[in-house]
Amino acid sequence: MYRDRLPLFPDTVALRPGQNGSPSLHVGGCDLNRLAAEWSTPLYIYDLQTIDSAVQAYQDALSRHYPGPAGITYAGKASLNLAMARLMAAHGLLLDCTGVGEMHIARAAGVPPAQLLMHGVNKSQADLQAGLAHAGTLVVDNPPELERIAQLASARGSAPALWLRVRPGYAVDTHHFRQTGQHDSKFGMDADQCVDAIAFCQRNDLPVTGLHFHQGSHFHAAEQVLPALDMVCELMGRLQRQLNWWPQVLSPGGGWGVVYHEADLPHRPVEEYVATVAAALAEKLSPYALPLPRLQVEPGRSLVARAGIAIYRVGTVKRAGGRRWLLLDGGMADNIRPALYRARYSALPVTDPLSRAPISENAWLAGPYCESGDLLIEDLPLPEIKSGELLAVPVSGAYQLMMASNYNGALRPAVVMLRDACAQLAQRRETVEDLLLRDIV
């Protein structure tokens, strides 16, 4: 009955007999029941093989469809810790860090400077200093920031490669909180500002090598990138004519969406997006007798979301006013996305997930926090679920823990990485002592 939810889970999902003999969800060769018993709940797990395949899908699509050089930057804001930074670096990806905080994590993971890139819309002096000292590439958001970079670079006697963030004037179709490319967005520079910025870099001997744009996050129609690509290719022509400048790198940002709920399946292949961008770029630039820039895609969610699962334990089961409530041990503190964007998730019980008889009453899954907005999943068909059972929420690998909070004294969950039937703790659960770390006693 609930079989249509399985494709939401990582590639390695399987049903195998668990401890008491009933079928139990396994991922990465590990029994989710055992993981929850070992590390408690809420627990976030990542199937690394699913991330490997997602990286491979981008690499294959780029090499199949783009006639020039190409690369991938992982947008670390989707999910970042030492293990994730090391995994992405081992795949040869650049790692996009927003500001000094993420840069600190990436450096602690040992990511080499050449693979570090810094983004940020209102970079602090500390951000810029970290970017200049440690990143191979710094993406410049605005003209005053460029002037500050010039000053810091002249004091240091060196600068990383600079890319300009273009504001193309076109956003993708997504929740308005996630749109960034529109003409009145807070991100990036318009065409005239970009021309002035390149001229400024030329006058000041700054190594500006690329153009970047990002229209928004979690979109599903590849052709929505085309108007922005048009705008940027036109800008390239203008920069070539007026300043004899041509980018070595062009990054169309990230944003390719994923599927969170079975109603939206099947998954849209990344190849659809990459092929559209690659073909349009190669075609629009063909009139120029100049080398194709390196096409540097910058995904976050589509590399990691489906690899992640959040496992919760059901506490109280309650009926109120005709509604069946399953109250979980996690919710808005580890996943604010339903409250913030009305994001719609699905779930399966970890034990015997597929063969139980359905019941007519749908379930409302909520967390333990003191507000009614702490609602994880509304109106989901589920069989009878008892207190103490485990529920697995798929597609939980992106932008959940990164936006987690300590609301109501919540402790951020542990993170476990799975590969080849081995489970490794990547981040321990927060403790109550952690809640006092910043207080002055």
Q: Is 383 annotated as a binding residue?
A: no
List, in order, residues 6 or more apart from 225 with CB less than 8 Å away.
Answer: 172, 215, 252, 273, 276, 277, 280
Closest distance to ligand LLP from the beta carbon of 102 (Å): 12
| Binding residue for ligand LLP, selected from 107, 167, 220, 301, defined by CB under 6 A | 301
Q: Does 338 bind ligand LLP (CB under 6 A)?
A: no
Phi, psi of 73 (to 5 degrees): -105, 135
Q: Does 376 bind ligand LLP (CB under 6 A)?
A: no
Q: Does the N-terminal peptide bond of residue 160 adopt cis geometry, omega within 30 degrees of 0?
A: no
Q: Does 302 bind ligand LLP (CB under 6 A)?
A: yes
Q: Does 299 bind ligand LLP (CB under 6 A)?
A: yes
CA distance 310 to 391: 8
Helix (H) or strand (E) holding 130, with range, is helix 125-134
Nearer to ligand LLP, 218 or 313 (CB): 218
CA distance 138 to 168: 19
Q: Is 253 left (phi over 0), alpha (psi -120 to 50) or beta?
A: left
Nearer to ligand LLP, 78 or 164 (CB): 78
Closest distance to ligand LLP from the beta carbon of 242 (Å): 26
Residue pair 324/317 in contact (Cβ under 8 Å)? The answer is yes
Closest CA to 306 of 393, 395, 400: 395
Burial class (CB within 10 angstroms; exposed 0-12, middle 13-18, buried 19+) of 85: buried
Q: Does 188 bind ligand LLP (CB under 6 A)?
A: no
Q: Does 142 bind ligand LLP (CB under 6 A)?
A: no
Contact segment (CB under 6 A) with ligand LLP among 19-27, 55-63, 108-116, 214-222 equals 214-222
Q: Does 298 bind ligand LLP (CB under 6 A)?
A: yes
Closest CA to 168 of 145, 191, 148, 150: 191
The site that binds ligand LLP (CB under 6 A) totals a number of residues, namely 20
> Choosing from 201, 233, 370, 422, which is the catalytic residue?
370
| Binding residue for ligand LLP, selected from 5, 134, 167, 218, defined by CB under 6 A | 218
Contact segment (CB under 6 A) with ligand LLP among 32-40, 191-199, 288-296, 299-307 equals 299-307
Closest distance to ligand LLP from the beta carbon of 182 (Å): 14
Q: Is 319 annotated as a binding residue?
A: no
Closest distance to ligand LLP from the beta carbon of 377 (Å): 16
CA distance 440 to 433: 13
| Binding residue for ligand LLP, selected from 268, 337, 412, 419, defined by CB under 6 A | 337
Closest distance to ligand LLP from the beta carbon of 121 (Å): 9
Q: Does the N-terminal peptide bond of residue 299 adopt cis geometry, omega within 30 degrees of 0?
A: no
Site string for ligand LLP, 385-404 (x = CB under 6 A): --------------x-----
Amino acid identity of residue 359, one-letter, is I
Q: Is 58 annotated as a binding residue?
A: no
Residue pair 94/296 in contact (Cβ under 8 Å)? The answer is yes
Q: Is 299 annotated as a binding residue?
A: yes
Q: Is 131 annotated as a binding residue?
A: no
Contact segment (CB under 6 A) with ligand LLP among 31-39, 85-93, 252-260, 350-358 equals 252-260
Q: Does 76 bind ligand LLP (CB under 6 A)?
A: no
Q: Does 178 bind ligand LLP (CB under 6 A)?
A: yes
DSSP state of 30: E
Nearer to ligand LLP, 47 or 102 (CB): 102
| Binding residue for ligand LLP, selected from 24, 79, 137, 217, defined by CB under 6 A | 217
CA distance 298 to 211: 13
Q: Does 300 bind ligand LLP (CB under 6 A)?
A: yes
Q: Are strands 308-320 and 390-394 parallel, antiparallel or unpaired?
A: antiparallel
> Which token pair is 89?
């670096």
Nearer to ligand LLP, 78 or 84 (CB): 78
SS3 assignment, position 235:
helix
Active site residue 370: yes
| Binding residue for ligand LLP, selected from 76, 247, 254, 293, defined by CB under 6 A | 254
> Which token pair is 36?
């929850």
One DSSP character per residue, 62-128 reads: HHHH-SS-EEEEEEGGGS-SHHHHHHHHHTT-EEEEEHHHHHHHHHHTT--GGGEEEE-SS--HHHH
Q: Does 123 bind ligand LLP (CB under 6 A)?
A: no
Contact segment (CB under 6 A) with ligand LLP among 239-247, 276-284, 295-303, 416-424 equals 295-303
Residue pair 347/393 in contact (Cβ under 8 Å)? The answer is yes
CA distance 155 to 175: 42
> Which token pair is 256?
């390719």
Chain positions contacting ligand LLP, by CB under 6 A: 75, 77-78, 119, 178, 214, 217-218, 253-256, 298-302, 337, 341, 399
Q: Which residues are annotated as a binding site?
A: 255, 298-301, 337, 341, 371, 399
Q: Which residues are annotated as a binding site for substrate?
A: 301, 337, 341, 371, 399
The set of catalytic residues is: 370
